[in-house]
Amino acid sequence: MRKLYITGCMLAIILGLYSAHLHGMEEFIPMPEYVESTAIVHEVGPRTVNQLTSKGTDQDVTYEGEPRRIMGVWQSSVETLLALGVGDRMIAAIGVPDSKYIAEEYREAYEKIPYKSMEIPDVETTLLWEPDLLVGWYSTFQKNNWKSTDFWAQRGIHSYISRASYKQSKRTVEGEYQYILDLGAIVNREERAQALVNRTKRAVAEARSYGEAQHTKDTVLILENSGRQYRVYDKETLAGNMLEEIGGHLISEAGQTINAEELIHLNPSVIFLVLVEEDYERQDELIDNLYKNPTLQHVDAIRNHRVHGVPLFMVYSAGTRIHDGLNLMIHGLYPNFTGGIHE
């Protein structure tokens, strides 16, 4: 009897400590208010999407109804969901360093999302918030973050991984189009998704036709600062594929990294400088450093001031922001182009 009493006391203490732990988490990471959007006005039918699992395999997942408590991780997920018009159903937006990096047309909707942070809530907190859809990258659904897609499926919670974030996937413009279409099907906004894809396809086709008509011979390197060297984005990267889609000539002789001497030898006509998160606010400074570098004054892109910055979120697992990344590339490559990517 005494043993039972002691066991019961210990259990009560453990439960009390766990309850306090959860309460502490709620104070550190406030529980979002329940998000209940306006009455559903879209016809809802089952949609089947072929998607990636956290094991790197493909799986057909059928969605019924519309998700109403969505959590998005990293900027591509958040902005694509906002662009699809389901911001009022998002309870969390994670991984956006500042609202100023959200496209202006979606900024107001972003600000209304109850929970915004750079930190992914732990699994226990996420379960407390009762989401019905989790959208993120491959790394999001690993054991050190949100566990596996199977873990969530077993609890009746859908999850979706951006294919471009998986290292063995091809990173292409077409892949980003499919990402937008997939998310459109999942949240039951297929017409909106198709419209987003079509506007970018039209602009790309127009820019490519313009380039072909101009018979441009400009050569391009896409670089990222890496200490005293530069990381090279080749045709296997999304950035490289974007350039080729608009008719650009990407220099193929470069390796994975190059130094100043190799940059001089390659002599690109145009340089696109990829800006990582900590450099978003330093674009002018970094480009000016290149222009003032005495070693590089015989590089055509430096001499003619044809270096253009492009944020990483527009050229890596970009989602709808691929539109803006292409816009920067098109007008950097074709300075006299006046086509319709501004839609």
Q: What is the pLDDT of residues 106-132, one digit of tens each?
A: 999 999 999 999 999 999 999 999 999
Position 238 scores a pLDDT of 97
216-333 adopts what CATH topology? Rossmann fold (3.40.50)
Which pTM value belongs to this model? 0.86
Task: State residue 32's pLDDT score.
Answer: 55
Domain ranges of the chain: 47-188, 216-333
Around 125, how many Cα atoms within 13 Å sit in the side-chain half-sphere? 21
Asked whether the beta carbons of 125 and 25 are under 8 A apart, the reply is: yes
| Angle of helix 322-333 versus helix 173-186 axis, rounded to 10 | 150
> Residue 333 CA to chain centroid, in angstroms?
24
**β-strands 58-63, 47-52 pairing:** antiparallel
User: What is the predicted pLDDT for the residue at 40?
Assistant: 52
Mean pLDDT of each 10-residue bin along the chain, 343 residues long: 50 46 45 52 82 94 94 96 97 94 95 94 94 95 90 96 91 97 97 98 95 92 93 96 97 89 97 95 95 96 98 95 97 88 48
User: Would 47-188 and 216-333 be classified into the same CATH topology?
Assistant: yes
The pLDDT, as a whole number, for residue 241 is: 97
Class of domain 47-188: alpha beta
| Model pLDDT, residue 31 | 53
* 128: amino acid identity, one letter: L
Q: What is the 3-state secondary structure (H, E, C) of 93-133?
A: EECCCCHHHCCHHHHHHHHCCCEEECCCCCHHHHHHCCCCE
Give the distance from CA 59 to its chain's centroid.
22
